[in-house]
Structure 1
Amino acid sequence: MLRRVRQSLRQVLLLMARRPDILCGAIVLSVLLILAVKFTCSRAKDVVAAARPPVRFFSADAPVVDLYLGQLDQVERLKSMAEVSFIFFYAPWCAHSMAARQEVSQVAKKLARQVQFVAVNCWWSQGKCRRQKRFYHYPIIHLFYRRFGPIEYRGPFVAPYIESFTLRVITPLTYLPTRAHLENFLTKHESGVVGFFQFNSSPQPPGYITYLSSALQTLRRDFHGVVRFGVVTSKHVAEAVSLREDETVYLHRRFNSSLIFPRKKLNFTSEAVCKWVFEHYETVVQWLVPPGTKSRLLEDELTKGPALLLFMPHDPLKSEPSAILQQFADIAVRYHSCERSSTDDRLPFYTSLCCRSVPVQESRTSACEVCLRLSGPSLPVSLAPCSFPSASREGDRFETYLNRCCLHQPPSPISMKSATSQGCSHYVSSYSPFTQFSACCKTVEPQLNQSQAKEEPGLPPPLSVPPSSAPIQETENDGIMGLHCRTNRTLRFYVLDIGLNWPLAERLGALSQKNSSIHKGASTEGDGNRDCSFVAIVNLKYEVHYVLQHNPDATLTESLEMFIRNFSSPHSHLQRHLVGEDDRKEGGGGGGADPSEEEQQKQRRLITELTTSSFVSSIMDHQKDVLLFYYTQWCGFCSVLNHVLIQLARLLQGNHTITVARVNVARNDLPWEFMVDHVPSILLFPRHRKHLSVKYPANLPITLPNLLRFILQHSDSLRQANGSSAAAPGSGSGSGSSAVLHAEFLALQHEVQALHHARQRLSQQLAQLWRENRQLKFDIRGIEQSLERQMQEKSRQLAEALKRLQELADASETLLNENVLLKVLLRALRDQTEADEQAEADREEAGQEDGRRAS
């Protein structure tokens, strides 16, 4: 192996000796490689700059202890010094933390004497908070009541809501000293828990701390506090709710029996009491408070069923609820109160009687009066459907009851003024919670039956409507008592803060306060200003919602009751509310423009932009064919097709019988019959066949020629023009509208031909440009080849010159070597001659000396 390596090295050295240029190249490459490695290693060092040390997040005047270095050990020391602690975990770069900083500062300035406010930077990499806590979002608020906690706040980061939650933690129990306080505590719409503890024997009874912890547990589970905890220390006050034993917990419920915590079955711990309360409490009105971040809170609630949403201004710091909220809660309580029987005559229903008298075949003096009893929430009398069974199956059943009507009843002199008899028999026609028939036997005058028979010959048994059988209305003040148990269209009641949920209210149809139909309900007792509210029913299953249109002559309670009854009716008269862009512009307070200017702008537009309010009137215009383009702002394919639609509108600009329109379905609600399943979509509504709209084929590319063929094939106006021109070209009747249409059609054909010619010219120009471009490419390639040949020739000449120079350098180097050798030889010869001369002179001197001695 070593021999092979040595042989290969020798061959390389011999090759380098023969070709010195290879040696120079190898040396240069090795030097470059060394420099590159050295440069790379020098850049591989850690050049990341150290993070800047954190600074205070809160201002110096804010009463908040800012631990901006993440000193988590200081938090424990500060918690032990205060009864209630407020811990604010933040990240200095987080926008939500920056927004909540001002709100927390406002709360801290108000409650600094009662609460210890601490802010901790949990983003500093060298702090203990970053290493010990695992937070996935910021900011986070934790509250501690003595050693109990943490109680996390999950509400919006708004100062009133944070302050209200902090006050609830400071005082989790409400002291009820008298029966009046207890009655006021239990009459509110929130669920109430009352604990009876006597403080006679000891400063704190044994179960009081557990009860206090239960109240804090409920705040940890539900930050909004849907369940309120009160404490009673007087035995006289406790007897008002039948509490006689000490350390008893009482849960007040409106619709079911109130409960007492079973201490014999369950352990009396804070977790057990909290779990027992949340399993058995009742609520009729639920607050929906968004957490301030992305969540599915609203979706989870709306999927449970139809929801009645009340948007109202809310101040969480008020001790008493507003008048609007109190009325809304009272309506919800009466709506869910099902203790009254459904057969009670005092039921709050509109009842209409539609009656018809049918003569009995066996008797001419007896008649069977059949009444259709319609009972439904807010069912107007004028719209009551007084229809009787006409199908064969229902007709046989109807005849059976008519034959049995007067069989076993003696003839009784019932006057025509009485609507029904005392012995009416009721039978249900079909499944409906509000409809049934009643058949009663009565005595009638034969003359009346004969006159009716003459007026309606050929009809089976003649029917008459006596004056007393006109529809009757029975109304009660309490119109929705127990409606929750008498209808299949049940509602859930929700309250939302309109200040925090204004985008949702605006999307449902709420307008601005200046020019809106938002209900302005009962005024507050404090300042007398009228609170603005907005009410809507949302049915997510059917994707519809209804908006309360308030009657100025009615109160809020009456309007809400009518609104709820209309929704609960089997034949509801509520109209689906549609929201469009024009409603949002009006709600924004932009002001209306001049109608003449708007009309001129519409005339100048090639494409008509439709909205919710103008959609039906524009589509159903019987004077024009309408080509409708469905699009959305987030659809990329829709924006690609805009130029095709603009070209089509320019071609049809002179034709007044065809309109090109488009509608943004993401911002405009449309009736269900005009919706499409995908975008982009194109529909054509012919002028005389609006009910037979034609959809553009999905498998056909949307191009200008295809759109023109689609319009020519299905348009009514162009079809009439072709028919009139083909029927009688010389009859003289073509001077009417058909001739105009034919002329417009011919003009359109000429424009299409002109477009084809322009396209051909454009194709020829493109072909010429392509040929010129190709010729230029060939010229460039020839020039590059000639330059390459010249460069190769110059390189060859330079190589030859370099070779000659190398030969001259070698010859000169040889001459120099020879010259050096000659110089060395000359110097050696000169030294030799000098040495010989010196020796010869020495010999002569020696001979002379010898001669002298001899002489």
Structure 2
Amino acid sequence: MCNNVIILLLLLTESGATFRLFSSDAGTYKEARPFFISPKSLINDYFDGNLAPVFQTINSHTFVFVMYYAHFCGISRRMRDPYENAAAFYRERTQNGNNTVDKFHVKFIAVNCFYHTGQCRKSYKLDYYPHMYLYIKGTRGYQYFGPSITLNIIEFIEKIRMPIIRLTNENEFLDFIVQHESHVLAHFDFSNNVQRQHYSFFVQAALKHIEYDNEHPIRFALILNESIIEKFSQLSNSTFPKPFVILNQFNSPPQMFPHMTYNFTTENLFQWVANEYKKPCVSWIVPKNRYYSRSPSIDKATVFDALTDHDNLLIFFTSNKLDELKLRQIYIYLFNCNITHSSLWQTQIDRLYNQSSINLKENLTKTHYNLLSSCCQYLLNQISPMDVYNLCLSNQELPSLNMLDTKTKICFGTLKNHQLKTICYREYCHQWLKTYPSIYQKKLHENHDITLEKRRDKFHDQSIEVQNQFILDSNKSMENFQGLLCRDNSTWAFRLINSRYYPNFGQNIGIVNDSRAIIVLQKKNEQYYILNNTQIATENIYNFIYDISHNLRSRSLSKTPIRETNPEHSNRLVELTTDTFQSIVLNPDKHVLVVYYTKWCGFCQSIWPVLFQTKKFFRSFTDLIFARIQADKHDLPWHLTVYNYPAIILFPAEKSYSIVFPTSTEPITSVSLTKFLLYHLYIDENINEQWCRPTNNSFLSMLSSNYIDFSQLSYLVKSFS
């Protein structure tokens, strides 16, 4: 007995230590606990709200990412795993004798800013959580507003770490301007002290724009070569006095910053760029709310804002950022007559797009992909392990192969294509690195520069792996599409929506299984068209736009998958969808009573017992089907669409017309529905005269009464027929 008491007291003591409470005049609080409980030790978690070590870390490290969280906040909890993954990305492990040393290129810290006695809560009055800042040594912190996704956090950090893109040759310059429709170009004389100060203001303005729009900021670039200035002058037909800061926007004349000699400040430059900025021809649609983690969906108003000044809105629903390049190339080709140097832009985009392709396998036919895999395996098996080593880790070219070999001749035609060869190398290298991790690690430890290069490669691979798809070009001539939209009387806007962040947009218009599609919305006709993922190719996109602009394509119908039901159940209506509606309802051998409803319609929910009871009364009538369709989730052709709910429509067999139940004048009851069905389906138009006599007209008298003897229903109908 004593032993049991002692055990009980020990358990209570341990429980009290685990859930220790503190009482004060302000209330009762739990003891502070770690928020990041992973054993990886990637995050310095100051769960007691202490700010002193945070300030010390910020002053001693070049880059410090701080997350101010509240332990109860759902968004803070959702951000926990992506934050740790981002910290792991910037960790570099080195071997120091028998010990493994971790070095962080970006230090990650978390602070509980809601703990009642913590210094953080007393110092900062935060109205939401988490607040996330990337601090740069010697300057201020820059706030992250993006979603709780590791890749977005990494991209934000990389932009802050390199706010200025340095352009050293013409190819880099052309690549930069085709990737960013609106950008700021600058050239400074670094031998001049004033110009060096202006450059520091230029960098700070770039950082402010990255903070202002985490996902798609206006990018700033520094020109370091005179040949680039000459090329830029040639393209814009202008000459630029040095030094200069220029806002360059696609298909618009460049604008010079007016305060180059006086009032050159960070704020003036930031405001000037923000005021002169115009919406790009091809851009991404994001929620209006800057705090994406608190507004994870795109609502109807956000989409229709893009339609304000346009008749047609083309949306590329994708998560592959390379698709932005391809869509810009399509835009330039279709508006060829209004764009200067359009052929140059198209060529440059095509080159950059092909170089950036990583994986084509999902867009290749099975036969083509099998051939590519076979050739890739054969090709790389012919070279030595050292050559594979150089290929995968040093990015060197493959040695020449024996072209007399039969297999080599077969594969040469496939692998001479730059895009396909890139797939081959990438696929094999990923497998090889997984097979030989020790060699991989050894190589990384030998050279710090290689380590950083591989980290950049990893970042690039993660960006592409989000969507391993590629738009294939056709070999057919598409000159007849050049300048197509110049000749069109309607206006078009080209936009993209990230399918990974906002899948609800695709689900709402019926894109269920695919995370990639092209949608065209028409404001005037209130309809849309969809080009599915399997159809996305350059030629198909041009044909798609051509058909819509010439009214040659039928509108798309949205549909939502429904759970499987047993239509034979006595009290169950057949669930109709966009795909099954016409095959069931327009069946010439069956009469079909269809109920149009929506889940948000309260009155619709009240009529189901009436429908189930009526169906039960007609269970012996094998030629009659009771069905329903959720009309707001399953689009139908215009002549089969209704605008009021609930709507009950009868589709008689072998008839070219339908009959609407008069809900405005008749109550929806079992009696009224039964009369409606009997009158329109089971009364012959050529009624025998004897049935009209009051003495014999038991059936007609039943129809005119408020009561029906359902037990005699089947007998009366058969007799009357």
**Secondary structure of the structure 2 residue equivalent to 1:698:** coil
Cα distance, 1:330 vs structure 2: 0.5
The correspondence of residues 554-573 of structure 1 with structure 2, limited to 5 A, is 556-569=537-550, 572-573=551-552
Aligned-partner residue type, residue 52 of structure 1: K
Choose 1 or 2 for highest CA Rg: 1
Q: Is the 8 A contact 1:335 1:482 kept in 2?
A: yes
Partner of residue 32, structure 2: 54
- 2:282 corresponds to 1:285: yes
Alpha-carbon deviations, 1:409-465, whole Å to 9, x = none?
A: xxxxxxxxxxxxxxxxxxxxxxxxxxxxxxxxxxxxxxxxxxxxxxxxxxxxxxxxx
Q: What is the TM-score with the length of structure 1 in the denominator?
A: 0.55
Cα distance, 1:551 vs structure 2: 7.9
Partner of residue 768, structure 1: none
Partner of residue 97, structure 1: 76
Aligned pair in 2 of structure 1 residues 604, 706: CA closer, same or farther (>3 Å)?
Answer: closer
Aligned pair in 2 of structure 1 residues 745, 701: CA closer, same or farther (>3 Å)?
Answer: closer
**Secondary structure of the structure 2 residue equivalent to 1:205:** helix
Aligned-partner residue type, residue 519 of structure 2: A
Alpha-carbon deviations, 1:298-324, whole Å to 9, x = none?
A: 53233331422223343xxxxxx63x4
**Secondary structure of the structure 2 residue equivalent to 1:617:** helix
Partner of residue 790, structure 1: none
Partner of residue 210, structure 2: 219
Report the more deviating stretch, 212-221 or 232-241: 232-241
- 2:616 corresponds to 1:614: no
- 2:603 corresponds to 1:644: no
Cα distance, 1:249 vs structure 2: 1.0
Aligned equivalents of 1:237 and 1:656: distance in 2? 80
**Secondary structure of the structure 1 residue equivalent to 2:596:** strand
- 2:596 corresponds to 1:630: yes
Partner of residue 752, structure 1: 708
Aligned-partner residue type, residue 183 of structure 2: G
Aligned pair in 2 of structure 1 residues 256, 68: CA closer, same or farther (>3 Å)?
Answer: same
Alpha-carbon deviations, 1:380-425, whole Å to 9, x = none?
A: xxxxxxxxxxxxxxxxxxxxxxxxxxxxxxxxxxxxxxxxxxxxxx
Aligned equivalents of 2:700 and 2:293: distance in 1? 59
Cα RMSD, aligned residues only: 3.9
Q: Is the 8 A contact 2:313 2:522 kept in 1?
A: yes
Cα distance, 1:100 vs structure 2: 1.2
The correspondence of residues 185-264 of structure 1 with structure 2, limited to 5 A, is 185-202=176-193, 205-242=196-233, 245-263=241-259
Aligned equivalents of 1:636 and 1:48: distance in 2? 46
Aligned equivalents of 1:214 and 1:676: distance in 2? 54
Partner of residue 295, structure 2: 294
Aligned pair in 2 of structure 1 residues 263, 636: CA closer, same or farther (>3 Å)?
Answer: same
**Secondary structure of the structure 2 residue equivalent to 1:186:** helix
Aligned equivalents of 1:223 and 1:653: distance in 2? 62
Partner of residue 723, structure 1: 686
Aligned equivalents of 1:169 and 1:47: distance in 2? 45
Higher relative contact order (CA 8 A, sep 6+): 2
Q: What is the TM-score with the length of structure 2 in the denominator?
A: 0.64
Aligned-partner residue type, residue 682 of structure 2: L
Q: Is the 8 A contact 2:181 2:249 kept in 1?
A: no
Aligned pair in 2 of structure 1 residues 215, 139: CA closer, same or farther (>3 Å)?
Answer: same
Aligned equivalents of 1:621 and 1:727: distance in 2? 34
- 2:659 corresponds to 1:693: yes
Aligned equivalents of 1:567 and 1:94: distance in 2? 47
Aligned equivalents of 2:572 and 2:201: distance in 1? 75
Partner of residue 317, structure 2: 311
Partner of residue 547, structure 1: 530
- 2:118 corresponds to 1:117: no
Aligned pair in 2 of structure 1 residues 107, 264: CA closer, same or farther (>3 Å)?
Answer: closer
Number of aligned residues: 524
Partner of residue 516, structure 2: 533
Q: Is the 8 A contact 1:251 1:281 kept in 2?
A: no
Partner of residue 676, structure 1: 642
Aligned pair in 2 of structure 1 residues 125, 705: CA closer, same or farther (>3 Å)?
Answer: same
Aligned equivalents of 2:121 and 2:150: distance in 1? 27
Cα distance, 1:257 vs structure 2: 1.6
Aligned equivalents of 2:25 and 2:133: distance in 1? 39
Alpha-carbon deviations, 1:49-89, whole Å to 9, x = none?
A: 72112112124633322221223455444333333332212
- 2:66 corresponds to 1:64: no
Cα distance, 1:277 vs structure 2: 2.6
Aligned equivalents of 2:262 and 2:191: distance in 1? 26
Aligned pair in 2 of structure 1 residues 289, 556: CA closer, same or farther (>3 Å)?
Answer: same
Q: Is the 8 A contact 2:571 2:616 kept in 1?
A: no
Alpha-carbon deviations, 1:269-297, whole Å to 9, x = none?
A: 22332333332355222123562433675
Cα distance, 1:646 vs structure 2: 1.0
Q: Is the 8 A contact 2:63 2:137 kept in 1?
A: yes
Aligned-partner residue type, residue 53 of structure 1: E
Alpha-carbon deviations, 1:642-666, whole Å to 9, x = none?
A: 2211110111222244332211224
**Secondary structure of the structure 1 residue equivalent to 2:201:** helix
The correspondence of residues 38-437 of structure 1 with structure 2, limited to 5 A, is 50-59=28-37, 61-72=40-51, 74-111=53-90, 113-146=104-137, 148-202=139-193, 205-242=196-233, 245-263=241-259, 267-278=263-274, 279-281=276-278, 283-289=280-286, 291-294=292-295, 297-298=298-299, 299-305=301-307, 306-314=312-320, 322=322, 324-339=323-338
Aligned pair in 2 of structure 1 residues 711, 327: CA closer, same or farther (>3 Å)?
Answer: same
Q: Is the 8 A contact 1:651 1:748 kept in 2?
A: no
**Secondary structure of the structure 2 residue equivalent to 1:195:** strand
- 2:498 corresponds to 1:497: yes
Aligned equivalents of 2:36 and 2:498: distance in 1? 29
Aligned pair in 2 of structure 1 residues 490, 746: CA closer, same or farther (>3 Å)?
Answer: same
**Secondary structure of the structure 1 residue equivalent to 2:613:** helix
Aligned pair in 2 of structure 1 residues 222, 549: CA closer, same or farther (>3 Å)?
Answer: closer
Q: Is the 8 A contact 1:174 1:229 kept in 2?
A: yes
Partner of residue 387, structure 2: none
Aligned equivalents of 1:105 and 1:48: distance in 2? 34
Aligned-partner residue type, residue 544 of structure 2: F
Aligned equivalents of 1:509 and 1:559: distance in 2? 20
Q: Is the 8 A contact 1:338 1:484 kept in 2?
A: no
Aligned equivalents of 1:147 and 1:489: distance in 2? 53
**Secondary structure of the structure 1 residue equivalent to 2:230:** helix
Q: Is the 8 A contact 1:620 1:690 kept in 2?
A: no
Partner of residue 357, structure 1: none
